[in-house]
Amino acid sequence: MDRLVWIDCEMTGLDPASDVLLEVACLVTDGELNVVGDGTDLVIAAPEAALDAMVPVVKDMHETSGLTAAVRKSTLSVAEAERQVLAYVRSLVPENRRAPLCGNSIATDRSFLARYMPELDGYLHYRMIDVSSVKELARRWYPRAYYAAPVKHGGHRALADIRESIEELRYYRRTVFVPHPGPTTDEARAASVEIRAETDAAAQPSSSGDGGAERSSPDPATAEATDTTQPAPNA
């Protein structure tokens, strides 16, 4: 199996040292980005002080989405949420540290998993697939594809955001990646040789100008004898 684990978190802020998890959702896909299983979406109870400490933009966002009200009704602890998500992941990905973590700007989510759900974090491979990285490259290399990407409507709820991240990667795979089945082995090897040659050539000092090459100092006597621009003594 070559499955991918998609996780999205909603938090009171972006600092795992002072902010807390409010919602965590998880979906698993196969390598072709087909969703496997039903997924899980859990709202976590949080102290009122943590909700009050949210900055205005985050407070408005979570109130508009309905998350704040759901958090106030929830009795689910972080530990129990971790247990449920990990059980779901293990049911579909039985191999420890095999599946990478996927999502949008996933490093932020992972920092919260590392702090609040360390067993789940440790079960996943250290590598991550960040759709936002693909998006940033598309913006620079294939701007028409970037600007035509599907519009997001997730509304900052975890499970909806995951589904949109999967949709987004499927879109970029179709529009900017090499079509299936990709290059032949010979074509891939030829491209590898060409890229390495370009890299090596770029690393060589330029033959014109300074080029970073060290210049040897001329012999003073030779320089004086050949330099006709020097003024005559006592001129």
pLDDT band at 135 (very low <50, low <70, confident <90, very high): very high
Q: What domains sit in the chain, N to C, each tagged with a CATH number?
A: 4-130 (3.30.420.10)
Phi–psi pair at 87, nearest 5 degrees = -65, -40
Q: Kindly list the catalytic residues.
A: 126
If you ran DSSP here, which 8-state letter would residue 58 be given? Answer: H
**Tens digit of each residue's pLDDT (9 = 90 or more) over 23-72:** 999 999 999 999 999 999 999 999 999 999 999 999 999 999 999 999 99
Q: Specify whether the CB–CB gap between 52 and 73 falls below 8 A.
A: no
Rounded to 5°, the CA angle 43-46-47 comes to 160
On average, the pLDDT of the chain sits at 90
